[in-house]
Chains A and B, each alone.
Chain A
């Protein structure tokens, strides 16, 4: 029971990150490799704000704002000049950005992990299992954010414009949608979600290091692919599924050293059986 709950809250973190991947992929048609490192930037921002002020809430706000700005800057500087270039070029640039963020934070903060002291919220017992309060909070807030995002995309003008751009960029442009602006907004939202994910991540593992983002980043991308890339509910399902599987694997002694291998094998199997993911839409490529 507690494993399942831990898995769900880890899954909520993966889902938040996966949402960023899947939205950017759906709208800009690029794999934003640097998304994982935005989490790391968020974690450092939270760490610095927490140390200098001592307020948890202020830390969250600073992390969210800093990440949002960071995401927009990265988009403007590195990806915008390459709009219309080959996907390979964009992908390599994204890898470069990921590397850049990692090395800058290593130069600024050093390679050794920094411990973030977040006040423990204790545990509660539910149905005979002890569950930490932080994972309940993670799960609740994660669910609220995801619901909010779904409403935003479905109901608001900007959200609908985002859907239009992801369906057909050219047609969206003809309908008077400012595609560049929509892409920038997408990056901003994705990065803000990553910042939230970073705070939740720190609640579970309270230490920051420059490579913090790369593993969760890759795993969240795996989640996005499993759920069907470009689909918002798909990212949530994939994220939760992956989180639960990871926690279950970790709890079985024989499997626990191979957890990463199991997760990535799942990715390969999914791609083999159903390359579009659980909720993905099949698209025919036209000449």
Chain B
């Protein structure tokens, strides 16, 4: 049985390279941290990268694999951050260990977010893409408004999470986050490669055809939606344990779009792409915040906007398809490795017969001057011909 498992797709080197990479990064940074070589600001950055990866990968599941646009990812994260961390603070009065509080509240926050995902998804997923986008957006705003005004979460001042915030004395938060990232990656990739994953991509490619094949479209849509909401909630709990106070302004729909930028930049439907893009954008964000003062901060959004528009048009415009093919990595590689073919080779290779020029060049024929001695003389018919 173990042998069979080891032989399955999940354990091929190509498919688990991302776990290895994240695990290696965790070990390296953990060692660096224990020797005191890791600055606090870098440890914080690692936490941010970790929860961004969780957010981007889970949103990619909805946008890239299911093909529906959700703009409420920050809303689910907000539920995790507010309610999950609230639970953690309550637990902290009983249990001393912050890590155990974090793990329990992570599950609670995730399940709550998933529950709300279910509530929103139920009406919305019966609808088409644009409606879903607007309903999830509306949901995010509802969550934000309600949590801001409820009496238990600090109202407009934000929720203070000092009691459970990880400080230097505690175990480094980024190790917990990265281990969760590995678990998330494992779950998501197993899902995507399974029969269910194929059903999900089938829905993306053609919903009606998928329905005709007997796939329960509503079930799978709801399932993916709830699954993604769960992980967004978990990411929110991490956020709550990483910073204080938790502010409702952070979870505006701009943040949902920031996650969307990560997904689009990494490539819709590519998990490794999401990981790389989430890392990159988080680092860029931190750098920009450091070096761009005041008004110039808008430059960040300008860059995001250009990335979104440029990449989507480049990847999807019907008229650019040929151009895209020509400049794609594969085409460049093929050009570099292609041997120069002699015309005879082409003539002998049936695969290239469609490239043999067959058109008569009328211009050339017409512009040829007929001079004395150059006239067209038909061949004399052979004797015995019909």
Contacts and interface: CB of A to CB of B under 8 A. Distances in A.
Contact of A96 (B124, B138, B308, B319): B308
B367 interface: no
B139 interface: yes
Interface stretch (A48-56, A62-70, A79-87, A232-240): A79-87
Given A96-B305, A268-B139, A89 B315 contact: yes
Contacts of B126: 275
A92 B128 CA distance: 15
A258 B146 contact: yes
A265 B320 CA distance: 41
Given A96-B308, A103-B305, A111-B298, A81 B141 contact: no
B149 interface: yes
B142 A89 contact: no
B126 to A, nearest CB: 7
Contact of B208 (A96, A99, A271, A287): A287
Query: Which of B131, B146, B257, B312 has the largest count of A CB atoms less than 10 A from its CB?
Result: B312
Interface string A91-103: 1110111011011
A236 B208 CA distance: 33
Query: Which of B68, B139, B145, B148 has the largest count of A CB atoms less than 10 A from its CB?
Result: B145
A103 B133 CA distance: 22
Interface of A: 25, 30-31, 78, 81-89, 91-93, 95-97, 99-100, 102-104, 106-107, 110-111, 210, 214, 218, 221-222, 225, 257-258, 260-261, 264-265, 267-268, 271-272, 275, 285, 287
A222 B304 CA distance: 26
Contact of B313 (A25, A78, A100, A103): A78
Given A88-B129, A258-B145, A268-B135, A93 B295 contact: no
Contacts of B264: 92
Given A218-B137, A268-B123, A106 B298 contact: yes
8 contacts: A88-B129, A92-B260, A258-B149, A261-B146, A264-B141, A268-B138, A271-B131, A275-B127
A261 B140 CA distance: 10
A285 B208 contact: yes
B312 A82 contact: yes
A102 to B, nearest CB: 7
B347 interface: no
Interface string B305-337: 111110011011111100000000000000000
Interface in B110-138: 120, 123-124, 126-131, 133-135, 137-138
Interface string B245-277: 000000001000100100010000000000000
Contacts of A287: 208-209
B213 to A, nearest CB: 13
B299 interface: yes
A82 B208 CA distance: 23
A96 B299 CA distance: 14
Given A81-B317, A107-B302, A225-B134, A92 B295 contact: no
A272 B209 CA distance: 25
A218 B316 contact: no
A100 B305 contact: yes
A81 B67 CA distance: 20
Given A91-B129, A91-B130, A264-B142, A81 B319 contact: yes
A25 B124 CA distance: 18
B301 interface: yes
Contacts of A258: 145-146, 149
B185 interface: no
Given A88-B69, A261-B145, A93 B309 contact: yes
A89 B269 CA distance: 13
A100 B295 contact: no
Contacts of A214: 253
Interface string B133-166: 1110111011001101100000000000000000
Interface in B80-137: 120, 123-124, 126-131, 133-135, 137
Nearest to B126: A275
Contacts of B232: none
A267 B63 CA distance: 22
A274 B356 CA distance: 59
5 closest A-B pairs by beta carbon, nearest first, are A96-B308, A264-B138, A100-B305, A106-B298, A99-B305
Nearest to A218: B137
Nearest to A215: B141
Contacts of A210: 298
A18 B309 CA distance: 24
A235 to B, nearest CB: 15
Given A92-B69, A103-B298, A275-B127, A222 B138 contact: yes
B305 A91 contact: no
B142 A111 contact: no
B302 A31 contact: no
Contact of A265 (B142, B312, B318): B142
